[in-house]
Amino acid sequence: MGNRLGFSNRFIAVVALTLLVLLLPNPAGLTVEGKRALAAFVFTGTIFALQPIPLPFAGLMVPVMLVALGLANSAQAFETLSRPIIILILGSLFLAEALRKHGITRRLALLSIVTSRGRVDRLLLGLMALAALLSMWMENTATAAVLIPVALTISSQVPDQEQSKELLVLLVLGIAYAASVGGMATITGSASNAVASEFLAEIRVWRFIDWMKYGLLALIFVFPVTWWTLMKAMNVSLKELDIEATRRELENLGGMRGVEREVLVVLGITILMWMGGAFIEDAVGLPSTFLSPAVVGIIAVSYMALRDIIQWEDVKGVSWGMFFAIAAGLALGEALKRSGATAWLTDISSPLLSGTPYIFALVVVVFASALLTNVVNNATVAAVFVPIMIDLAAADPAFNSVRLVLPLTMATTFGYALPSASGRMALISATGIVKSRDMIRYGMLMTVVSSVILIALFYLLGMVNLI
C-alpha cells in the first residue's frame, strides 16, 4: 500500500510540474504552442526521472501527452515507433539475447577472470573491457544485469567480509561505468545515440560508420582513464584473489560449441554490414537501403530464427522500454521543432555559444549534458538539445552540427551519480550493493574526469580538422 502511495505521489509531482509550466506567463518571443511544448518537455523529463510507472508505460504516455496538448495528431505522435532506428535497436537486442542464451557472455566473463590471473586491477580491467564491448551492441542495462552476478560470484569467494564488500563495490561500479562508456561507440549503444543520429540523418548523410569512427575513438580515450581513476579512487585493500574455482568452471564448459561459433560469425558479419552495407550497395548495384543497418539486423535475426538458434520465447524479455524511450524522445523533439520552442531555445542559447571559441562551447555542452542526464532520461536530453545544436551550427559558420552534437550526446552516458541517471544505475541502487553516498561520490568524480577527457578529445579533433 505504501509503495502504491509513493508512486501516486510521484505522478502527482509530474502533473503538478507540468501544470506549473502551462500556467506560467508566456516568456517573450515564445508562442503559446511553444510553451505547451516546454510543458511536454517537463512532463517527459519528470516522468522518466521519477518513474511513477514503469519505463515502457512512461514512454508510451509521452506521445499521448503531445496529442493532449495539441502538439501532434495521433499519427505524428506514434509515427516515431516505426522509424528504422527503432528496428535497428530491436535487431541488436535480439542478437544480444542469442549471445546470452547460448552462454557466450558467461564464457567471455569467465575467460576475462582467468586471464587476470587473480590480480584485482587486471580483473577489473577485464570485466570492464567486456562490459564496454558488449554495450556497443547490447543495451547498457542488460549488459550490467548479465555481469553483476559474475561480480557477486567473484566477491563471494573472498573469505574476509570487508574485503569482499570492497571488491564487490569496485567491480559493480566498474561494470556500470564501462557499460556506459562502451555505449558511446555505436548508434546501438545508447538511446541518446539513436535519437541524435536520427536528427543528424535529417540534415546530412549519416551512416552507422559515421558515428562509429568518432564513438570508437572516444571509447579508446575515455575507457582507460575510467579504469585507472576508479582503481586509484577506491584503492581496495585486496590486491589478488584465488581464481581456481573460476578456472575449473571454464574448463568444465569445454571448447566452444558449433552453435556458439555460428552466433559469433553471424554477429561479426552483421557488424561488418552495419559499417559497410551502404558501400556494398553502391558497389554491386543493390536496391537502395537493402543493406541499411535496420534491414541487416532483421536479416540476421531472421537467419538465427530459421536456424532455431533463437526462438520467440528467448526474446520476450528484451528491454522494450528502450524502444518507447527512444520513440518518445524523437516525438518530443519533433514537437519542440514544430511549435517553435526549439527556435526560441536556440535564440536564448545563441549569445552564450555563438562566436565563442570551440573549447568554451565544448565545456558548456558536455558538462551541461553530463550533469543534466543524472536527473533527466538521456534520450530526452538528446531530443531537446540536439536540434538546438543543429540550429546553432546552421546559424554560426564557426561550428558544424557534428562538432556540437556528438560530444553533447556522448556526454549523456556520464550520468553516474544518481539512480535516476540510467537503468544500470537504478539496477545497482536496487541491489543495495553500493551505498547512495558512494554512488554520488564516485559518480561525480567519474563524471568530471570522463567529461574532461571527452572535451580534450573533441577539441584536438577540431584543431586538426578531423571533425
Best mean pLDDT range from 186-195, 223-232, 434-443:
223-232
- Of 44-58, 71-85, 184-198, the poorest mean pLDDT is in 44-58
Q: What is the pLDDT, as a whole number, of residue 3?
A: 54
Q: What is the pLDDT, as a whole number, of residue 6?
A: 57
The average pLDDT across 119-134 equals 92
Beta-carbon contacts of 384 under 8 Å, excluding residues fewer than 6 positions away, are 41, 332, 333, 336, 345
The average pLDDT across 223-227 equals 96
> 73-99 pLDDT, tens per residue?
999 999 988 888 888 888 888 888 888
CB distance 164 to 146 below 8 Å:
no
Rounded Cα distance, 292 and 151, in Å: 37
Distances (CA, A) of 419 to 106, 227, 295, 429, 436: 26, 21, 35, 6, 9
Rounded Cα distance, 320 and 379, in Å: 14
Task: Name residue 12's amino acid.
Answer: I
Q: What is the pLDDT, as a whole number, of residue 153?
A: 80
Does the pLDDT of residue 7 top 70, yes or no? no
For residue 310, give the DSSP letter.
S
Q: To the nearest whole number, what is the mean pLDDT of the chain?
A: 88
Does the pLDDT of residue 340 top 60, yes or no? yes
Cell 524522445 belongs to 329
What ranges do the domains of the chain cover? 84-315
What is the three-class DSSP state of 239?
coil
Task: Name residue 133's amino acid.
Answer: L
> 301-324 pLDDT, tens per residue?
999 999 999 998 887 777 777 778
CB distance 41 to 17 below 8 Å:
no
The pTM score is: 0.85
Distances (CA, A) of 466 to 184, 203, 308, 458: 18, 19, 45, 9
Q: What is the pLDDT, as a whole number, of residue 43?
A: 93
Rounded Cα distance, 292 and 289, in Å: 5
